[in-house]
A and B are shown apart, each in its own frame.
Chain A
């Protein structure tokens, strides 16, 4: 009987004060919409930033005179260095092929002119943490002196790296800051709307207490109301988002890399997260707001 009773009470409450309930529902709907648009944007941005960061690398050039054995030793030495994620060997031939691809004309003529391949073989070292790239450089070539005989030179393409790191760092910090602000604003907005709707019924709560109702007896219907409002607010938001995604984003995503960024949250997961967040915020919000009026 109890749950049915609470549910009935909640429905009665919604029916009898439908204006504040509608306001709460709209608030939930709007904030869920904004969050639903913003979460993928944040993720696409950080995803792109991370993708750019992954291009940061150290090049270790190998002396032409180095033997196979020395090369193998060098490879092992690099792999053992801390903060190294992966090592890619680029042979002289590959290096030439890549250079030719970038600038076909110049290299075609150059190679003919020189008669031999001027480019050295190299190891391209990808770091675990791009921000600590310099550790790898310092380890392999302390103060610019190569630590192994086979190394000709160690280069981290300093200027590019620094630009990439500072630009992507800023983008990530900005989006994270915006996301936090948005979440705080959403919770505050929903809490405020709920507070208004409960404030309108504080007399009722007082009477219930005087008749001898326990706090939870009074609170459950309000919490269930919150769940219902949150559920329908979230549902409407998700429906609108789906429609928007189908009509606007999907046709465009083929043309814009940002929209199709691989690390964007799955749409179904986004829906679930939004729904749960809406329900939780509005149920907990109702329960907590009520506490102030229960002190009779």
Chain B
């Protein structure tokens, strides 16, 4: 699906099938977000080719980019909701963008908000909601016109573990409807518990790609302890260097 060449992402090739659920993991700056932005054609690869559903993104002219994006739902770490619109209007906006009729909008928006569990907060503004609720709104917005592909860039990055589970459940449910889901995350716990396909990036290269993987390949407590001390600059005997 993806093969790019730049400083952020370097010679990374991957293929993600229809309906798959994929975690992109790796430390900060490894190129996870770059992958997402490349898929949205927010940035262009300096080399290599990306295609979605058989269509090469390089061949999509600038004027067609909005139409490409209508087929991709996106969820961000910082929610990116429109601050001066109510929950209802935020979700409705992505329907208005594609020219959906008012009746359809009136029907679909409450439906999707019920699905994400926000049917009581229709007329609240984003700053009146908790982080988890805002992320639910952003998922509702991403999924309201049922795109075949859902991208999530650190969807649980700002949330506590309990809320994160709720958000992941939601994304998982969306995946179950046949939507391909790509989640960039460094939420180790989540990745380990869900046991889906994991693609690990490091300095822009793919270092691991396994089905039902863990955030990090198995590592005993002793190994972890050694790594921890090493990384903290502490000698093996426990004395400061």
Contact = CB atoms under 8 A, between A and B. Distances in A.
A52 interface: no
A211 B101 contact: no
B69 A210 contact: yes
A78 interface: no
Given A210-B42, A211-B141, A204 B82 contact: yes
Contacts of B177: none
A211 B84 contact: no
A268 interface: no
A212 B96 contact: no
Interface footprint category on A: 20 to 34
Given A212-B67, A212-B97, A296-B42, A207 B80 contact: yes
B80 A210 contact: yes
Given A1-B102, A296-B42, A211 B83 contact: no
B83 A204 contact: yes
B101 A212 contact: no
A2 B100 CA distance: 10
A133 to B, nearest CB: 60
Nearest to B69: A212
A182 interface: no
A214 interface: yes
Given A1-B102, A16-B84, A213 B97 contact: yes
Contacts of A208: 82, 93, 97
Interface string A234-245: 000000000000
A12 interface: yes
A204 B141 CA distance: 15
B83 to A, nearest CB: 7
B225 interface: no
Interface in B2-17: none
B42 A211 contact: no
Interface string A178-206: 00000000000000000000000001101
B69 A204 contact: no
A2 B80 CA distance: 25
Contacts of B93: 208, 211, 213
Given A1-B101, A1-B102, A210 B40 contact: yes
B22 interface: no
Contacts of B102: 1
Interface residues of B, number: 25
B81 A211 contact: no
Contact of A207 (B42, B82, B96): B82
Interface in A1-31: 1-2, 5, 12-13, 16-17
B56 interface: no
Contacts of B98: 212
A217 B97 contact: yes
Nearest to B76: A210
B74 interface: yes
B157 to A, nearest CB: 17
A60 B67 CA distance: 80
Interface string B88-115: 0000011011110110000000000000
Interface string A26-57: 00000000000000000000000000000000
Nearest to B142: A211
A212 B94 contact: yes
Contacts of A206: 80
A2 B99 CA distance: 8
A210 B84 CA distance: 17
A236 to B, nearest CB: 26
B70 A12 contact: no
A75 interface: no
Given A12-B84, A16-B84, A204-B84, A211 B97 contact: yes
Closest 10 CB pairs of A and B: A212-B69, A212-B70, A16-B84, A213-B97, A214-B66, A211-B94, A212-B66, A207-B80, A212-B97, A204-B82
5 contacts: A203-B80, A208-B93, A211-B74, A211-B97, A217-B66
Given A2-B99, A212-B67, 15 more contacts: A5-B96, A12-B84, A12-B85, A13-B84, A16-B84, A209-B69, A210-B69, A210-B74, A211-B74, A211-B97, A213-B66, A213-B97, A214-B63, A217-B66, A217-B97
